[in-house]
Chains A and B, each alone.
Chain A
């Protein structure tokens, strides 16, 4: 019985939040990794792109809510999501046309593009704060839980409850669908294949008649979708605050680098590695240990390896370890 209780506690506090957070990071890291693979620079504006996508979605959600359109138990934000993606796609394509294309034509050094993306980050950050303000916004509605802790306890007779929030369920489901679509697109369609060819070897792709501008346009469209979905899911699961999205940049980059920059499969693996390291290291294990250990060995402290204030230190530590020992990442990325 105690073992079961301990397992449920682990599932409730580590497994489920880890999976949800991991999916969000994986979606974010996929965007970073795609831009890296095809446009060949680290996009520091990605966190703010996510914030922008989430913001457009929130605005549409509010509009729908005010008109009385609801999705029943599901959050209305899902209905607004396509509009958010469209808005973000317009923004990204516009940015590419006005800003990035010039440097691409000049074949500027990647580090110049990174600085340019910093300028874009400034503008997007300002735009988001200008439109929706720097404060926290809540936009989740519908049923809050799939399983409530109390129901679970009544159902199983265990002392530990297991709660699954709707946002967590939706996060995982959406992430699976989005990733499946992405891989189908990259592996099976003609455009996807030309994107991979372009990423592997630009000159060879140009020789075989692939239109680079078309590849770039599709990349931005996909990135817009990925960033908006990631941003909205994170906002539903936690809450929307522009500055948090900027701070997400570190775990997202850590995921992409841990997995291997430029490798989509790596980005997903990296997202989960970073998320689970963060959750396990900052979780107070006392509860689980109380169930598992005999009374005499019961821990006195919280048995928390690091306080949650230092969750960035976990991403950072992982990043450093990977940079030191395996700079190309777990899966072979392009970068060195």
Chain B
């Protein structure tokens, strides 16, 4: 395999952009861009798996990312014992009842022949199950939320190491993806899009409103970290000594240490996933996937179970998004369900995949870094441009003020324009599929 200088140059360019941010703005911003770029790269790797390999159009990435965030809370926060004794058992029972009702309904639907009896039984079962569920659920939720609402008011987590929440986030996302895939795959491609759009909104609504689960819009703060706190590092004489010997003051050194630590952790995950994705792409499985994407009918005629394979890859891609979501919440140290915006968490990832090059893992990674860099930097650039444009206008004029205030919305416009330009003039992206 010959060395591809163009690709190396592209990655070098992104590296230079981030380094440039370090030199001209601040190293703090640069490392933040790097860390979020790593997470974005993982997300776009997941979407690339779905879109690039299989041609599945998932626009519910936000939901899977949010589920990953939920996983960090459920895994790593300390349990609220008082809340558990107040309503924990009843809550578990309620959720089990809900699940049992749905499973029973599915079994009923499959076992009994179609007809009026089946319809009546189904309606009866679902209504009964729903009211039983609400009867168990409502008091339990109320009791749990009453326990110290300002501090906890939720069940808490399992107090396990935070790193465990990354795979758990993936598993949660995979579970939801299975349900969605079962329903919407095998129909028109647009239906999967609409279904995923819907489930993402619902996941966010649940996370915002079910206070017993994750405190809703009251947010969960102080999620444990996989790395030491800066303040502890500054107290550690060994660390301070090393820092001073390197010519750094301990405060800066501790923040850099923690941020770079995250960067290393994220990079390890990215490299593992990238390696797995590359191996999968080269394997017979990957060839089969691309064969299905390019000609479903031919692949089906060759005896491939198209819907099953689609389900498989849809679950895998969503799981990767879940992992990335858990990593992001870990980096933030808090879960804020109110901040999940579809434009930021779903459509931006799509721009990354398409600009980078759908069907090529390296392209997806490059797109993740590049678009994240632009997303962060468009605002200062936009403000700078707007200053130039509005310079001839008189100070204090309403139009000038309005234009200057609107700079924040330049991001969406720019991303839309970039997406359309790439789709039109270079539809295979920066690093095209081989």
| Chain A residues engaging chain B, CB cutoff 8 angstroms | 41-42, 44, 99, 102, 110-112, 114-116, 118-127, 129-131, 133-134, 246-247, 249-250, 253-254, 257, 301, 305, 307, 309-310, 312-313, 315-316, 319-320, 323-324, 327, 335-336
- Contacting pair A122 B183 (CB below 8 A): no
Q: Name B residues whose Cβ lies closer than 8 Å to a Cβ of A.
A: 55, 57, 59, 130, 138, 183-184, 187-191, 193-195, 197-199, 201-202, 205-206, 208-209, 342-343, 347, 350-351, 354, 405-406, 409-417, 419-420, 423-424, 427
- With both chains docked as a complex, state the minimum distance between the C-beta of B34 and any C-beta of chain A, in angstroms: 25
Q: Contact between A309 and B208 (Cβ–Cβ < 8 Å)? A: yes
From B138, B188, B412, B424, contact of A125 by CB (8 A): B412
> Which residues of B are found within 8 Å of A336, using beta-carbon distances?
187-188
Can you list 21 A-B pairs, Cβ within 8 angstroms, ordered by A?
Answer: A41-B190, A99-B420, A102-B424, A111-B190, A114-B57, A115-B350, A115-B354, A115-B423, A118-B350, A120-B416, A121-B347, A122-B351, A122-B415, A131-B406, A312-B202, A315-B198, A323-B184, A324-B183, A327-B187, A335-B190, A335-B191
Given contacts A127-B413, A133-B406, contact A301 B138 (CB under 8 A): yes
> In the complex the two chains form, is A123's CB within 8 Å of B193's CB?
no
Question: Inside 8 A of B206's CB, which chain A residues have their CB?
Answer: 310
B230 CB, min distance to chain A CBs, angstroms: 35
Using CB atoms, name the residue of chain A closest to B189: A111
Name the residue on B nearest A313 (C-beta).
Answer: B202
Q: Min CB distance, A118 to chain B, in Å?
A: 6
CB-based A-B contact count at 8 angstroms? 133
Distance A313 CA – B200 CA, assembled complex (angstroms): 10
User: Complex: how many Å from CA A131 to CA B206?
Assistant: 32
Given known contacts A111-B57, A129-B406, A323-B183, A257 and B194 CB-to-CB distance under 8 angstroms: yes
Contacts of B57 in A (CB 8 A): 111, 114-115
In the complex, the answer to whether B198 meets A319 with C-beta atoms within 8 Å is yes
Residue of A nearest to B420 (CB): A119
> Which residues of B sit under 8 angstroms from A124, Cβ to Cβ?
416
- Give chain A residues whose Cβ lies under 8 Å from the Cβ of B201: 247, 250, 312, 316
Query: 4 nearest interchain CB pairs?
Result: A122-B416, A126-B412, A126-B413, A123-B416
Task: Give chain A residues whose Cβ lies under 8 Å from the Cβ of B202.
Answer: 310, 312-313, 316
Residues of B within 8 A of A41 (CB): 190
If A129-B412, A313-B205 touch, does A323 touch B419 (CB 8 Å cutoff)? Answer: no
Closest A residue by C-beta to B186:
A327
Residue of B184, B208, B411, B424 near A126 (CB, 8 A) is B411
- The answer to whether residues A130 and B420 also contact, given A114-B190, A320-B183 and a CB cut-off of 8 A, is no
